Structure 1
Amino acid sequence: MKIGNANPVIAGLREQIEHLEGVVSRQKSVLPFGVDDIDDCLPGGGLSYGAIHEFAGGGTGTVDGAAAALFAAGIAARTKGKIVWCLTRPDLFFPALAQAGLHHNRVVFVEVDKEEDVLASLEEGLSFGGLGAVVGELVRLPMTASRRLQLAAERTGTIGLIVRRWRRQTEASDFGQPTASTTRWRISVLPSEDLPVPGVGRPQWFIELMRVKAGECAEFTVGACDASGRIDLSAGLVDGQGQTRRSQHSR
């Protein structure tokens, strides 16, 4: 029996294969930082699209929390397309986001009353497809919810950025609980790096890559996001011996 291209069974199988290949292709694409020391720690050389990534401040205060939000904003700024940012507290400082490369005309803010609604909005945004990134501000990220977000991201290839923000010090311990996130980052503010102009310095961050699937955990001292959303390794040292410290075990 001769089977041609018009056979509906073969055509259906081909469509399924093309769909699966497209999903795999999206999962393999990454967004590099453009900093070799950081990209070398990440599978594929960058942050995976079709995945969710977590960010939190190194302390419980607002300064480190703001740095975590700006770090996520800089990542979102380097994607293509509109950004959906889901939150319960409308306290973002737009000029600071613009300084990190994320301008207001690219962002659709979704303000809701409860964290459950943030999770629902995140899942809907990740499932929609065609967005540059979907950002959500959360105190807690339960494992079941994180798995739903990860699956939604995998289906469309959209990158999900979860900014963990604490209202009380006791809530910070939830950041250590397991989730389905592909990477987990902690950002702390350091004294500014001196510049040739008196009284002016470039903001510096201490970044901890605390968890990465199939990659290496590490720590970096970096200059904060510039107007294009990019960071770079700072001239300052992490511990007096070098700018980067890697753990001995991959996670």
Structure 2
Amino acid sequence: MPEAANGRDDRMAGLRRQIDALARGGVARSPALPFGIAALDAQLPGGGLRRGALHEVGEAGVSAEHAALAALFAAAVLARLHGSVLWCLRGRDLFAPALAGVGLCPDRIIFAETGSETAVLPAMEEGLRAKGLAAVVGEVGRLGLTASRRLQLGAERSGVLVIAIRRHRLAVEREGAAAEPGAALTRWRVSPQPGTGPPLPGLPRARWLVELTRARGADAPRSWILDAPDATGRLRLPAELADRPLAAAPPRARAGLG
């Protein structure tokens, strides 16, 4: 057997052992995880991000291939869950202090470094066949209809919240991937807004444009300007915008991930 194949098999076996070690604990299930922002939760079926479902998040702008804000958005969601998280990615380029800054302690994360993007989806599916995880995350460039259906079915069977972070390496790929159909229950896009700094301890909170570009069973797209997550993973409406009416997303969002 080729050496590369042996390496993949070893990584997958190690991943199974780590997940199996969690199986005795179990994870409390809940139908949805609210954001705690009434205007946002009202747009989501069940009043929040549904467990047992696939959700996608991407990033707008020139930094989309790095998806740093998308990763922080996902980490803030996971910070409000209890239990361990399986995070599948090609190589470890996550900044641990930033994850901790939005409430997700790195010691809660099982990092599955696959060595190639094509191995990320199998690692996610492996995690969904196990027990004891709070969530499964995967960083992918493309996520076609068939692959997203497999993840959605796995999420439904396991009751685990699944987040696919879309990392698009080229502008052409970014536009192509945005038009792909998929089975995700919701799709999100995050982009920076002028003002404060990154969400790190001791620095002012950043401000994001958070766009809900698709939500099955809901009226989408919608968008909100929000303060970036605090140390407990909570987004919030800026004080000066809290009393403004909710605005529909601009035309750019309507042609976006949905």
Q: Same fold (TM over 0.5)?
A: yes
* C-alpha contact (below 8 Å) 2:155/2:162 kept by paired residues: yes
Find the residue that maps to 2:76 and give its secondary structure. Answer: helix
Aligned residue type for 2:140: L
Matches within 5 A, 1:20-169: 29-61=31-63, 65-169=67-171
Identity %: 44
* C-alpha contact (below 8 Å) 1:64/1:187 kept by paired residues: no
- Measured after TM superposition, the shift of residue 92 of structure 1 is 0.7
Aligned residue type for 2:205: R
CA deviation string 1:174-220 (max 9, x = no partner) = 122110000000000012359xxxxx632000010000010122100
Find the residue that maps to 1:132 and give its secondary structure. Answer: strand
The range that moved more, 222-231 or 167-176, is 167-176
CA deviation string 1:114-157 (max 9, x = no partner) = 22210001111122132111110000001101000000000010
Q: Is 1:220 matched with 2:235?
A: no
- Pick the aligned partner of 1:229 from 230, 233, 237: 233
Q: Is 1:209 matched with 2:204?
A: no
- Measured after TM superposition, the shift of residue 242 of structure 1 is 3.3
- Measured after TM superposition, the shift of residue 243 of structure 1 is 6.1
TM-score normalized by the length of structure 1:
0.80
Greater strand content: 1
For residues 193 and 113 of structure 1, what CA distance do their matches in structure 2 show? Answer: 35
Distance change in 2, residues 1:38/1:168 (3 Å) = same
Distance change in 2, residues 1:108/1:204 (3 Å) = same
Q: RMSD of the alignment, in Å? A: 2.4
Count of equivalent residues: 217
Larger Rg: 1
* C-alpha contact (below 8 Å) 1:49/1:158 kept by paired residues: yes
- Measured after TM superposition, the shift of residue 236 of structure 1 is 5.2
Distance change in 2, residues 1:193/1:244 (3 Å) = farther
* C-alpha contact (below 8 Å) 1:205/1:222 kept by paired residues: yes
Distance change in 2, residues 1:226/1:178 (3 Å) = same
TM-score normalized by the length of structure 2:
0.78
For residues 187 and 85 of structure 2, what CA distance do their matches in structure 1 show? Answer: 20
Find the residue that maps to 1:226 and give its secondary structure. Answer: coil
Distance change in 2, residues 1:109/1:222 (3 Å) = same
CA deviation string 1:201-251 (max 9, x = no partner) = 32000010000010122100111011111101123559xx9363236x9x9
The range that moved more, 81-90 or 53-62, is 53-62
* C-alpha contact (below 8 Å) 1:189/1:206 kept by paired residues: yes
The gaps in structure 1 that reach 5 residues or longer are 1-25, 195-199
- Measured after TM superposition, the shift of residue 100 of structure 1 is 0.9
* C-alpha contact (below 8 Å) 1:236/1:243 kept by paired residues: no
For residues 215 and 59 of structure 1, what CA distance do their matches in structure 2 show? Answer: 26
For residues 235 and 221 of structure 1, what CA distance do their matches in structure 2 show? Answer: 11
